[in-house]
Amino acid sequence: VAAKRKRGAPAARPNKRTKTAPSAPEAAAPPGPEEYSVPPPVSQGKWKNKERVLIFSSRGISFRTRHLMQDLRTLMPHSKADTKMDRKDQLFVINEVCEMKNCNKCIFFEAKKKQDLYMWLSNTPHGPSAKFLVQNVHTLAELKMTGNCLRGSRPLLSFDPAFDKEPHYALLKELFIQIFSTPQYHPKSQPFVDHVFTFTITDERIWFRNYQIIEEDASLVEIGPRFVLNLIKIFQGSFGGPTLYENPHYQSPNMHRRLVRLSVAAKFREKQQVKEAQKIKKTGSKVLVKEDPTEVVFETPAEEKPVEIQLVKPESKPIVKDKKKPRKIQRKKQKKLFRTET
């Protein structure tokens, strides 16, 4: 029971608990012969090449584009994400977004008409930048991609020899190296190389593939994603500026769809013209061919029979009555009488 204290007397303080000294930690036992210690990571250097890539898109992209964007973020540990940009905003606003995110490279996916996909690769804020049309997109989630790689591992970059032959391809090669290569000693990266990014030029387009390197026989198995980049323009600045190169082989999707519609319409018009020509041929007047005088050469005329004129009226034939008719009538009468008697 708590003791009552008198007025004016100081309150009695409870006794404090004595602090016990912490027990000395037990000495760590050395690993036994059957135990194994996990070695520390190999990459313990300093992260010097601080490349950061911002990967985001505009509003209105399809589900396939969203999966492609997520796959690139997964394969690139030095990437950052941001919310979708409004389509009403101008593209130079992306430079400010990259500055706020502390990124010096950018991959921006721009969707138009809910069916066309464009990709911007830019070195912010000074440039250069390149605009591509993205075609034939296949993501990591598809069943055809049977390969696999470690999350955050550093890739090898393999380029077609054609990248060194022309100046605009050489510029794109340097841009791809700075964007897609994972910096050494990055905090989120793994110190392993187990997959390779390939950039191949075929049919005036750049084909991107991602392959796993199998250690046993050094063969390649595709991981994904895969897509084709059709170059449109290369600009001196970031998301704009003077045009350094314009692809003469590029055909816009609107023009391609227009040519397809025109070809279908031309086939339809051709069918209609054939039908009209057949109708005119049927309803047209037939051309009379002149008689050939040599047609009667092999005809043999029949012998002419003498015409006989009958002057006497021929005799009328006698009328022969049917003898079986009265017998039928008599049989019918007999049947009636037999029925009445019964």
First to last CA, the chain: 140
The token duo for 272 is 């209609």
User: Backbone phi, then psi, for 74, in 5-degree steps?
Assistant: -70, -40
With a threshold of 0.75, does the pTM exceed it? no
pLDDT the model gives residue 283:
80
Q: Kindly state the helix (H) or strand (E) to which residue 157 belongs, with its residue range.
A: strand 153-159
> Residue 94: is its pLDDT beyond 70?
yes
CA-nearest of 78, 79, 110 to 94 is 110
- Residue 177 is which amino acid? I
| Token code pair at residue 295 | 């047609």
What would the two tokens of residue 148 be?
A: 């696999």
pLDDT digits (tens, 9 = 90+) for 289-312: 778 888 888 888 788 888 888 888
Q: pLDDT by residue (tens digit) across 239-274?
A: 999 999 999 999 999 999 999 999 999 999 999 999
CA distance linking residue 227 with residue 206, whole number of Å: 9
With 50 as the cut, is the pLDDT of residue 236 above it? Answer: yes
Bridge partners for 295 per DSSP = none
> Bigger pLDDT: 178 or 323?
178
The pLDDT of residue 195: 94
Could you write out the DSSP letters of every residue in 255-295?
HHHHHHHHHHHHHHHHHHHHHHHHHHHHHSPPPPPPPPGGG
pLDDT tens-digit map of 141-166: 887 788 889 988 999 999 999 999 99
Q: DSSP per residue over 26-67, as a string?
A: PPPPPP-SS--PPPPPS--S-------EEEEEBTT--HHHHH
pLDDT band at 65 (very low <50, low <70, confident <90, very high): very high
Report the topology of domain 53-255: Rossmann fold (3.40.50)
- Structure tokens of 213? 């390197």
pLDDT at position 47 over 80:
yes
| Domain regions of the chain by residue span | 53-255
Q: Would the pLDDT of 342 be above 80?
A: no
Predicted confidence band of residue 10 (pLDDT cuts 50, 70, 90): low
* 3-state secondary structure string across 100-161: HCCCCEEEEEEEECCCEEEEEEEECCCCCEEEEEEEEEECCCCCCCCCCCCCCEEEEEEECH
Please answer whether residues 253 and 240 qualify as being in contact, where contact means their C-beta atoms are separated by less than 8 angstroms: no
Q: Are strands 240-246 and 153-159 parallel, antiparallel or unpaired?
A: unpaired
Query: Considering the chain, what percentage of its residues have pLDDT values greater than 70?
Result: 84
How is residue 13 written in tokens? 């303080």
Average pLDDT, the chain: 85
Give CA 320 to chain center in angstroms.
98
Give the pairing type, strands 153-159 and 53-57: unpaired
What pLDDT does 320 receive? 66
- Cβ atoms of 162 and 201 closer than 8 Å: yes
